[in-house]
Amino acid sequence: MLIGVLVTSVGATPALADWDKTNYPAIQGTISITEDQNYTGLSNISLADAMASAEAAVPDSKAIYGKLSVINGYLVYKVIMMNDDRGHSKVLVDAGTGDELYVSDVITKDSHKKKRNYDKKHDKKIKDYFKGMTPEQIAEKKQQFKEMGDAWKSLSLQDRAAMIIHFMQMKMQWDSMSEEEKDAKKVEMKKKWEEYLPLSPDQKKQKLEDYVKSLKN
């Protein structure tokens, strides 16, 4: 999925790998959720609102991913933040008021690699992707990935939120697809991604903005 590749581009894969592994303090929100309760539609704020609150709490970082979750029995938005050095942190935002409830310490990319549970599967995928390339080609691809990640972070908060919501909806559809349909979708997204990579930074951003506009039509 394109959103997954975009998150990879900004170096947030370790943050997603630890999505449900973080030990949070005893936060207290405003919307109580019982075990196994369906909380769809219970939030009083949008994902964009939550991302804005998170960016206000961590002004040196951009919100690059977020979704509704239940922590300590309360409905919150978990938001992944990324700074210019690719250090990531997580913010919990009250789904009722939009207030920031918790901000984690920043985890740097290098410090995360030292952890035992570092995402080795992702690491292997990256190595396989670069297999057979010359050092110059690898350097060029890495620069293109960085530019793609920068283009993603440079989108307006509303556009980032719109894309996240769209691809979460696509993920739900993905689970009901046949293997043939999944393979076709993978080919389609890979082709789109390969078309984006060689573009200039400004063109990359424009392509992403155009994609968001197409979602609204």
Where exactly are the structural domains of the chain? 19-109, 115-216
Q: Tokens standing for 180?
A: 């043939």
Q: What is the pLDDT of residues 16-55, one digit of tens each?
A: 545 566 678 889 999 999 988 999 899 999 999 999 999 9
Residue 78 pLDDT greater than 90, yes or no: yes
SS3 sequence of the chain: CHHHHHHHHCCCHHHHHCCCCCCCCCCCCCCECCCCCCCCCCCCCCHHHHHHHHHHHCCCEEEEEEEEEEECCEEEEEEEEEECCCCEEEEEEECCCCCEEEECCCECHHHHHCCCCCCHHHHHHHHHHHCCCCHHHHHHHHHHHHHHHHHHHHCCHHHHHHHHHHHHHHHHHHCCCCHHHHHHHHHHHHHHHHHHCCCCHHHHHHHHHHHHHHHHC
Residue 62 pLDDT greater than 60, yes or no: yes
Q: What is the pLDDT of residues 166-211, one digit of tens each?
A: 888 888 888 888 999 988 988 888 888 888 889 999 999 999 999 8
- HSE-up of residue 50 (Cα within 13 Å, Cβ side): 33
Higher pLDDT, 14 or 197: 197
Higher pLDDT, 181 or 122: 181
The pairing of beta strand 74-83 with beta strand 61-71: antiparallel
Q: How confident is the model at residue 8 (pLDDT cuts 50, 70, 90)?
A: low
Nearest to 85 by CA among 148, 19, 12: 12
Tell me the fold of 19-109.
Answer: Nuclear Transport Factor 2; Chain: A, (3.10.450)
Tell me the residue type at 91. Answer: V
Q: How far apart are CA 137 and CA 123, in angstroms?
A: 18
Percent of the chain with pLDDT over 90: 46
Percent of the chain with pLDDT over 70: 82
CA angle 163, 167, 25 (to 5 degrees): 85
- The per-residue pLDDT for 84 is 86
